[in-house]
Amino acid sequence: EIVMTQSPATLSVSPGERVTLSCRASQSVSSNLAWYQQKPGQAPRLLIYGASTRAIGIPARFSGSGSGTEFTLTISSLQSEDFAVYYCQHCNKRPPGSFGQGTKVEIK
Amino acid sequence: EVQLLESGGGLVQPGGSLRLSCTAAGFTFSSYAMNWVRQAPGKGLEWVSVINVSGDLTYYADSVKGRFTISRDNSKNTLDLQMNSLRVEDTAVYYCARKELGNRPFDYWGQGTLVTVSS
């Protein structure tokens, strides 16, 4: 089983700041990595897949990078609507992915 | 517009059973693998189960293996999760989510249905 580990658990930032979230896989997942955003009371929303491809409708301030076991989600300039919990997930076919434990981005 | 609507959640006693359903609309249901993902109150996301497009291949998380059964009816565009021998730790919001074939993400999610296991 592939274990996904995210860091930090919580990030306190001010609007306009650049934010970097990390995700590590216990073994290589190539570029089969997705990022999701979840706001309170809502379902998760796909942000990034294939480690670096933005999903439909996702603003350009969100970017993903990495391959193998180390991945990063960057928000170039944090907007008020970006305060949320972010999860990474490996997208291997069999079985499909376990999730990281999440990083909460909160207002400083 | 892609829509996934879960139903069937509720309060059940430990050891009891519950059947969740997810009704799909707005896409060719039979072309997508379907998943169940759950989220305990205040906790993170936990993948539960997946079923392939034809319904003859399934996988389960170790935490539910032998107790939960996933199934689908492509003629009705529905996905089900039969949950037996429920435990307090199964309390969660259960989401259905679709997945394209291959190494692809869960691109659309339902809004979830709450299952509470308590005496």
Q: What is the pLDDT of residues A4-14, one digit of tens each?
A: 999 999 999 99
Q: From residue A90, give the alpha-carbon distance in Å to each of B20, B72, B93.
A: 25, 24, 21
- Coil vs helix vs strand at B89: helix
Cβ pair B95:A92 closer than 8 A: no
Quote the CA–CA distance of B11 and B62 in Å, as a whole number: 23
Q: What is the predicted pLDDT for the residue at A94? A: 67
Is B103 or B17 the better-scoring residue by pLDDT?
B17
Residues of A in contact with B108 (CB under 8 A): 46
Residues of A in contact with B99 (CB under 8 A): 96
pLDDT one-digit tens code per residue, B16-57: 999 999 999 999 999 999 999 999 999 999 999 999 999 999
8 A C-beta contact, residue A33 and residue A91 = yes
Q: What is the predicted pLDDT for the residue at B18? A: 98
pLDDT one-digit tens code per residue, A24-77: 999 999 999 999 999 999 999 999 999 999 999 999 999 999 999 999 999 999
Q: Which of A5, A92, A100, A69 is nearest to B99 (CA)?
A: A92
Quote the CA–CA distance of B74 and B53 in Å, as a whole number: 8
Residue B44 forms contact with A (CB below 8 Å): yes
Min Cα distance A21 → chain B (Å) is 16
Q: Which of A5, A6, A7, A13 is nearest to A76 (CA)?
A: A13
Where residue A97 falls among pLDDT bands split at 50, 70, 90?
confident
Residue B112 forms contact with A (CB below 8 Å): yes
SS3 content of chain A, % helix, strand, coil (to 5): 5, 50, 50
Residues of A in contact with B109 (CB under 8 A): 43-45
Cβ pair B109:A93 closer than 8 A: no
Cβ pair B44:A100 closer than 8 A: yes
Where residue B101 falls among pLDDT bands split at 50, 70, 90?
confident
